[in-house]
Amino acid sequence: MPILGYWFQPINTGAQLGYASFSNFAHFKGDPEGIWDAFTNPAVTGKYVKHTTEFVPGPDFALEAGKSWEERHGAECDFDVVTWTIADHVPESRMDVQGKQGGILQRVRMRMEPVNDGYLLTESIRFSPAGAGKIGTSVVAWIMWATGLLPKFSNDNGESFELLRDYLDGKRGGDADSATAQLAKTMTGHAADFVAAAAGSFVSMGELDGSPESLAAVDRLLGEYGERTTPLSQDDYLRAAAYVFEVARADFGGRYVEDDGGDAFVLVVGEPACSVTVMAMGKVMKRVQHGSADSIEFFYAGIAPLVERGQSAVLR
């Protein structure tokens, strides 16, 4: 059913339900089925959210109570993989979901009510401590929860509804940027797979946190791979390169481009002032095959000076 014209108005972006929760509201006009799907369906929300996530549905996924999906995050969230489960769902009325991230259990309540010739959308999020997550990250999250800082910093003050408006208006997601967005999500997934595969293998838990400093662990891990008698597959190289890419993208922004010159993909950063092409795939292969002379840390350190000077270059 097509989306009809609608009117968007934030009603209250700061209502507090308690020191460990927050709630935001917005008013929409249009097709209720389309609005509800864009608001609640994780396969759709991933097209317009601020930070790139990859939607991985569980078996026979549907918007029904008891169904679940994985949400794979990028470097800005330490490549977390969050499993969300639907606790309750009534189409075009309410949906409750919950998931654990960084030692915190998040309970999200979404509501849609007819009002003023349109629909009032409400999203409320409540936080409580949970046992899942990396120890260091969990401790920080627990402190933020106990002091009331977690809801303060987590509250986007209605920005998600602005992004939803743009999506419904055809300004975000959709055909205009679907190929670029899909490529970014694919690389995010490859980077998360690299982190999962590396856990407990020459790196400590939490070392691969998406920071530039974590590339020391990547260097060490690739060095160990280089000493193996069994060669790495092309997919192994791609996953490692995706991690380097995602660290750079979190640090500098940028966009992925398919490359015809040998690397499957490259990351272009620094635009519009300059164009710095980061070719991590080839560098990862060299690090494995040639050793520490092709350091990933040294390679990465070359990006910032170029961006700061506005100097276009290709880093191989």
**pLDDT digit string (tens) for 40-79?**
999 888 878 777 678 888 888 999 999 999 988 776 677 7
Q: Given this model, what pLDDT does residue 143 score? A: 64
Q: Given this model, what pLDDT does residue 18 score? A: 35
Q: Which fold has domain 9-172?
A: Alpha-D-Glucose-1,6-Bisphosphate; Chain A, domain 4 (3.30.530)
Q: Given this model, what pLDDT does residue 141 score? A: 62
What mean pLDDT comes out for the span 230-234?
Answer: 84
Among 9-13, 45-49, 137-141, 274-278, the range scoring the smallest mean pLDDT is 9-13
- pTM comes to 0.55
Residue 133 clears pLDDT 80, i.e. is over it: no
Confidence of residue 85 (pLDDT cuts 50, 70, 90): very high
CB atoms within 10 A of CB 314: 13
| Average pLDDT, rounded, for the chain | 81
Residue 114 clears pLDDT 80, i.e. is over it: yes
Confidence of residue 159 (pLDDT cuts 50, 70, 90): confident
